[in-house]
Amino acid sequence: MAFLKRIIRLLFARAETVFDWSFGQRNSPLANLGALGWYFFWIVAATGIYLYLFFDTGITDAYNSVEYITHDQWYAAGVMRSVHRYASDALVIVMFLHILREFSLDRLRGRRFFAWITGVPLIWFVYMCGITGYWLVWDKLAQYIAIATTEWFDTLPFFGEPIANNFLDSTTLGGRFFTLMVFMHIFAPLFMLFLMWLHIQRHARARVNPPRPLALGTAISLLVLSLVYPAVSQGPADLDVVPATLNFDWYYLAAYPILDVIPGGQLWLILVGGSIFLSLLPWIPPKKSMPAAVVNLDNCNGCARCAEDCPFGAITMEPRSDGTVYDTEAVVNESHCMSCGLCVGACPTATPFRRATAIVAGIELPDQTMSELRERTIEASARFGAEPRVLVYTCNTANAAVLGDMGAQVITMPCVAMLPPAFIDFTLSRDLADGVMLAGCAEGDCFYRLGDSWTKQRVAGDRDPYLRKRVQRERLHLSWLPQGSARRRKQEFAEFIASLSKLPPPKRGSRNA
């Protein structure tokens, strides 16, 4: 499994290099696949509502109404029909890329399983919406889909009489089953929307809108495609005539030709078995979760910054339980906590400057306390051999350990945003290093979702706790690169070293802090 993930990751990394260069990391389609899925869903929904105004739901009139939509009103409804179709296809593309990418980045395991397993039924719903949509056109392709689908369903032992009898020949054709399809094509997307909402429930500030340039670019692409190659019907359905050759939408119908080769029951087994296997992936192999964040009430003043910054909605503010003057206290939901440490980075009490009392933040990761981080910082400083001395704080996924070969001292944490800004001030003001580099995941693609955003905002002074103004920004470098970008990371580091060398020497203080 790990090997497979590595291969897929490698392929994505190659593609990301191209996309990141062209679009920029934040606007890259690969970093916004989930948001693009939402976006295409809304395009499909909006165009579908418009098309429904002109669609006749009777089986005998459906084809003619679609012809009217396509040809008589080509400039509006016709374009809408094409965009409706192509956006549905695009939804399938981004959905599968999203699944593959999250799998390769291992963003499905541990307490993160919820989004993954709620995503699996979504795949079925996407297909249900798409296939029923093709059915409604009632052209030759719809005829094929109607026959093949009902024959496939008849392999299930649920139906007294074959439902394929509804489409036996022109004399048996009835509108009831067709009406059911119309009903499903309207209500399946509504239920799908509910599942999409559920899918992101454990993500605070879930990104459901792609960046504006990307939204505009994809919309224009679909519009141009619709104008250049409009979606058209394939002749009216005639149940007495065999639909021999068909233009096929492989995004939605790829499973159908398999029915020519294997019995329908086996296809059910493959698809249902595959879905169950997919649902179990977060636990294959089992992964030990890190201990959840712990609130130290003696140091928690109920400021709510941790709850505000938690990317997984794992922290809530509850009425104070210790009788102190504060109104609220942070409470961690262990089953949601990803142990990323972003809450620790947000805690104003997580400061290494304290001398009188032990360094205990209001919220901490039990196995990586602020006190330990301070010790690791001081120890790393003592190990510097050459100048300029650069201390690199990095995350588990950014692969910045390679910078150790270039003379840097590297301190690894779950996420860069676990580092309270006060540590940067501490490191530079106590002359523990000449420069500090924060090396994280790609912009907008943090393993823990929001680490890069919060770090940048804290450094820029836009988000509490912010980096003090006295910190020389020239001595701080933020490096956001995707996994597997060791060469680019080294290059950025070398450039940072060069820029530090040009700066006047820092005021030397006590290296013992």
Partner 1 sequence: MRKVARAALQIVLYAGFAYAVGYLSFWPRYHYASPDMAAVKVSLSHAANHVKPCVKLTPQQIAELAPNMRRSVLCERQRLPLIFELDVDGNAALRIEALPSGLWSDGLSSVYERFDLSPGEHRISTRIRDTARTDGWDYVYEEDVTFAAGRYRTITFKPEKGGFSIR
Q: Where do contacts with partner 1 occur on this chain (CB under 8 A)?
A: 18-19, 21-23, 29, 85-86, 89-90, 93, 144, 151, 154, 157, 159-162, 164-165, 168-169, 171, 217-218, 220-222, 224-225, 228-229, 231, 239-251, 253, 256-257, 260
Residue 202 class from Cβ within 10 Å (0-12 exposed, 13-18 middle, 19+ buried)?
A: buried
- In the complex with partner 1, the residue whose CB is nearer, 226 or 368, is 226
Q: Which is nearer to partner 1, 52 or 250 (CB)?
A: 250
Is the Cβ–Cβ distance between 434 and 388 less than 8 Å?
yes
Element (H, E) at 11: helix 2-23
**Closest distance between partner 1 and the C-beta of residue 171, in Å?**
7
In the complex, the smallest distance separating the C-beta of residue 24 from partner 1, rounded to whole angstroms, is: 8
Beta bridge partners of 392: 410, 437
Q: How many other CB atoms are there within 10 angstroms of residue 423's CB atom?
A: 25
Most distant CA pair in the chain: distance in Å? 95
| Contact yes or no for 472/500 (Cβ under 8 A) | no
Which ranges of 70-211 would DSSP assign to H, the alpha helix? Answer: 79-104, 113-136, 140-153, 175-199
Nearer to partner 1, 225 or 267 (CB): 225
Q: Identify which of residues 28 and 351 has a Cβ nearer to partner 1 in the complex.
A: 28
Give dist(CA 450, CA 313) in Å, integer: 12
Least distance in angstroms from the C-beta of 359 to partner 1: 46
Please state the closest distance from residue 372 (CB atom) to partner 1, in A: 43
> Is residue 358 packed enough to be buried (19+ CB in 10 Å), middle (13-18) or exposed (0-12)?
exposed
Separation between Cα atoms, residue 213 and residue 215, nearest integer Å: 5
Contacts with 274 (C-beta within 8 Å, 6 or more apart), sequence order: none
Residue 57 Cβ vs partner 1, minimum distance, rounded to whole Å: 24
Cβ proximity to partner 1, 164 vs 378, nearer residue: 164
Q: Are 235 and 246 in contact (CB under 8 A)?
A: no
Q: Is 448 strand, coil or helix?
A: coil
Minimum Å gap between C-beta 144 and partner 1 is: 6
CA distances for 372 relative to 284, 378, 393, angstroms: 32, 10, 14
Least Å from the CB of residue 164 to partner 1: 6
In whole angstroms, how close is the CB of 23 to partner 1 at the nearest point?
Answer: 6
Radius of gyration of the chain (CA): 28
Q: Which residue, 46 or 259, is less far from partner 1 as judged by CB?
A: 259
* Six token digits for residue 123: 């795949």
Whichever of 161 and 322 has its CB closer to partner 1, that residue is 161
Cβ-based nearer residue to partner 1, 159 or 183: 159
